[in-house]
Each structure stands twice: as structure tokens, then as C-alpha cells.
Structure 1
């Protein structure tokens, strides 16, 4: 499985790990404060979005289901490496397609971590067995788990254009179940449709009020608006000089505080990648252990520039 092809806009760029096309020293980020460890539960999804950065679909099993015993192995490694992890995140694909999702979340909750699950809140989450498991976790570990629902836009028309006819209604039904059962809920939207941030938040606020959702549209942690990861748009390469020019620090970038565990189809076991956005790019694969994952990361991809450094986005709360 490969990344989506880059357009000619970035030809010549992002070719060398430590040097930019202009010969300048590329910015490199150290894992300075590991706070989040993500697990990709598998790329299979119940729907296929028009612009999915990880190419999830009902047929893409490039990343296969990770198992609860494998998750526990990495939780053990956190303790051995003495990483100051605060949050364990689960993403996909659709995490609730994985039959061991509830067990995996429980394993992290039992260790005292905050758990964040990303979901489209559609049929996989609404199965009775999953609902029963989630309710038990909520009872056993109150206020320790957050469900972040992918709601690309506050209007049905735009959301369904991305995720398929009827998906908006089904997602709202899932959100209503979460709300009525007292789950801590957040929303992840996109900023690709030309609406400015303030107007988008007004739209989400109206939607949340209409349906009685206890979500703050003006909170960047509760309503996360992600910049679009479009590799056809030209972006600058990030050099070491950029930190001073932009008034930012390497510690502001997601790979300074997080890693993601994936399991590739046909692989003997899971491996760790530097970024939740780049599971297919070989350069960002660090090795099978958390010790391997402690190496520095060169910002050698358009997503590094647009999403993390210039967009200032983060997958964590």
C-alpha cells in the first residue's frame, strides 16, 4: 500500500531525509515528551469516504486488526521505557469493526490511562455487544474515556457528499445514543469547504443545540477542525530556520509527543510509526518496539508541513 501520489506541485521536494530541495537543513523532531500512544485497529471500515487520508474502506485490509494481547504488550513497554503517557488513542479504519475493540480499551483503562476512541458512530458501534461493552467500561471507569465522532460537516448535504448518502443521519443516531447514556463525546470535523473557523463553529454549535449534544463548539478539544491533507497543494519544506521564523518549537509538533502502533497485512507482528497520518510511508516506520520508536523524526512529507507545523493540528485532545 502506498501514499496517494503527490502532484507536480511538490516535485523535487521531500526527497531527502535531512536536506530540502534548496539544500537547507531539514527540521527534525525528537520524541521529547511522549504523552499519547495510538493504536490503529485496522483499515477496514463500514464506509468509504471520498477523501480518506488512510484509504479506509470495506475492502482495504492493508492494516489488519490488532489484538488485545498485542496492545497489552505495548502497555507493558510504556512502563519499561518510563514514558509519561497520559492517553491511549484508538483509530482506524472504523475501530468498532475490530471485534476486540472493547477489550483493548478496557486494557488501557485498567492501567489508568485516559482512552480516546475515534469512530463514525454508525452500525459497528451500535451493535448490542459493543453497546453493552461500552456501557460496562463507562461504569467501571467513569470520566476516563472519550468518544470522538467523525462529523465532517454540520450540514447533512456536505457530510453525506464525503461519506455517503444517509451517513449523517446514522452518525447522529449514534451520537444520540452516546449522549443519552452519558458518554463524554467530542466531534472531529474538516475545514476543507472554504468556511472559516468561526463560521464552522457557529454551524456546529447550532447542530449541537438542536440535538441536545453536550459538546462545546468553541472548544478546540471538543470540536476538532482538521486542516485538509491534500498532497496536490504545494507546501514549503520545513527547515531548521523555520522554527524561529514561525515562532514555533519542535515540541509543538505531534511527533514530539506521540507514536502509533500498526499491524501490516502479512507481518509477524505490529510495528511503530512516527505519525498517525503516515502509516504507509516507509521512512516513518521506526521499528517493532517503543525503544525503536524513540528515534528522531525528519519532517520529510507534505503532511508534516501543512497539517502539523503550519496547520498546527494534533490528533490528541
Structure 2
């Protein structure tokens, strides 16, 4: 297997996020055990039809560091999950742009025919529309068990296009409108980086847009409209210790790595690998093995993203 890209976490304090067991202050680092595999994420490949200004996975029309996942790859993991008795309920597809992978419609059908739910993260542009016929058939057959989460960084075109390029907003809105007309279950993902007036104002702006365009998304629902914080590994953030759970009144079971894993296929590798989560596709310490069984061990929260994105959510881990 080709070694994964080495990407040691950066921090304004270089002593942080070095040791998976203890923090820079010598305190016991928090870890999260797998309470049960309920969501399996599939990275369909890092290739994308656009290049965003701040893509955490560096997807682009030329980045194929993560190669295309295949239907055969997916079937093997779904079969393993069933054999292990995993409480799997959902399979999510991310990228890159998942619809650049020609196996995606077949992978969706495989997931849905097994009685699972499927979630696709997409920019809803031309690659998605190239599969319009197949998607319409899947929606008609499986209904609400297929959800499309569309990336719309802001409700105003100018701000969205700053991130994704001129004209991106218009193309995404065309895709959103098509999904709405076809009766798909739609979620939207935005970015809090643009929310200078606060989250409430952001949600109000999206609500007005959805109402004006006939997009059936409840902007007040934090699942239907997810507003994500920025993931800047160069920002100095606190390390998460075992004491933080009590201080923050937060359960480790609420974190993504307590109930999910992501499978990828690295370019040049002999086979797929299982990672701790979707946010850390290149860091080798979060590659847990080739099988779901191997990947069932606890995950040390040894990266700034673990703190900023998953644990703190704007809180401070201090007494």
C-alpha cells in the first residue's frame, strides 16, 4: 500500500497535537471509542469539477490523491458490516464531487436496496445533472431514504462565488431547483465564515432564499441546513483532555467518530482503507486499517479539527 500523504497537524503552538496519549501540558488526551457503526462514509474520489478557495480536502479537477471508489469496494464493506452485526443505518457519499464517479448511481442502488439510507454531498452542478435520469428512478423507487446535501456556502451569489468561482451560485441553484421539482429530500450545507451577523441572521437569509425559490428546506433545522465552522489547522485551539467531557457536559458518544467511519481508496494503493472520519483524509494517524473490524478501535483526538469542529463548537474547555 502506498503510504498516505503525511500531513502533521499545524498549530500556532507546535507543542500541541504531537502525542496521541498526552497533551502538551502532560494531561491525558481524550479519545473516543466506537459505540456502534451507524454511518459509513464513502469518499468517492478527490476529483472535483471546480476548485474551491478553501477546500479542506484540496479537491480539484486534477487532485486524484483519493482514487475512485468502486461498487465492488462498497459491497465488500457493506457485507463486512452485516457480518459484524454493525447497527448500520446510513451510507454517506462525499468527495471531491461524488457524481464524477460513474459508479455512484449503482452504489446508491446497492445501499438503498439493502434497506439503508443514502446521503450524497454534492455541489449540484453538471456532474449531478449528467445522472438525472438514474437519480429520478432512484428517487421514485426509494423516496425519502435518498437525501441530497447541496453545498451552498451563502444565500447571496457574490459570497458563494468568492469561494467556488464565478457563476457557481447560479449553476448550483439550477441543480437545487431541479431536485426540488423532482421531489428529492434536500439538505443544504453553508459556511459560518460568512456569518458576520450571527447564525440567526444566516438562517433567516437562507429561509428567505428557499421561500423565494421554492426549495423545501427548513432553514431553522440544524440538520436540514448545516452551517459548518471553518477548519483551519493553523489556528491555535485547545487540546481536548479526558476532563473536558465533564467540563463541557458533553458525551464522547456524540462525536462523529463514535458512530462513523470513512472508507477511501488511495491512488496507487493495493486496496481501500478505513479512516476515523471524513475530516482527516490524509493524516496517517487517523488511518485505522483495511477492514471495519480493524477500524473499531478508539480514536485519539489528536488534531485541531477534533477540537474546533467536533468537540468545542464555540465552547471553551476551561473551568
Into which bin does the TM-score normalised by the smaller protein fall?
over 0.9
Which residue of structure 1 lines up, in the alignment, with residue 148 of structure 2?
A: 147
Mapped partners of 1:292, 1:195: distance in 2: 45
Mapped partners of 1:4, 1:169: distance in 2: 37
- Quick check: 1:52 aligned with 2:58? no
Give CA deviations for 1:13-66 in whole Å, capped at 9, x if unaligned. 000011100000000100012210000000000001000001100000000000
Which segments of 5 or more consecutive residues in structure 1 lack a partner in the other structure? 313-317
Q: CA RMSD in A?
A: 1.1
| Alignment match of 2:34 (pick from 26, 31, 36) | 31
SS in 2 for 1:142: helix
- Quick check: 1:112 aligned with 2:127? no
Which residue of structure 2 lines up, in the alignment, with residue 18 of structure 1?
A: 21
Which residue of structure 1 lines up, in the alignment, with residue 186 of structure 2?
A: 185
Which residue of structure 1 lines up, in the alignment, with residue 166 of structure 2?
A: 165
Give CA deviations for 1:243-294 in whole Å, capped at 9, x if unaligned. 0111111111110010000000000111100010001000000011010110
| Alignment match of 1:261 (pick from 257, 260, 263) | 263
SS in 2 for 1:161: helix
- Quick check: 1:233 aligned with 2:235? yes
Mapped partners of 1:210, 1:311: distance in 2: 31
Give CA deviations for 1:64-111 in whole Å, capped at 9, x if unaligned. 000001101111011011110111000000000001110011110011
- Quick check: 1:249 aligned with 2:251? yes
Which segments of 5 or more consecutive residues in structure 2 lack a partner in the other structure? 315-319
Mapped partners of 1:4, 1:37: distance in 2: 25
Contact 2:275 2:281 in 1 (8 A): yes
Q: Which runs of 4+ in 1 moved over 4 A?
A: none
Contact 2:7 2:284 in 1 (8 A): no
Which residue of structure 2 lines up, in the alignment, with residue 315 of structure 1?
A: none
- TM-score by length of structure 1 reads 0.96
Matches for 1:95-134 after TM superposition, within 5 Å: 95-127=98-130, 130-134=131-135
Mapped partners of 1:122, 1:2: distance in 2: 32
Mapped partners of 2:262, 2:98: distance in 1: 14
| Alignment match of 1:203 (pick from 198, 201, 205) | 205
- Structure 1 residue 214, shift from structure 2 partner: 0.5
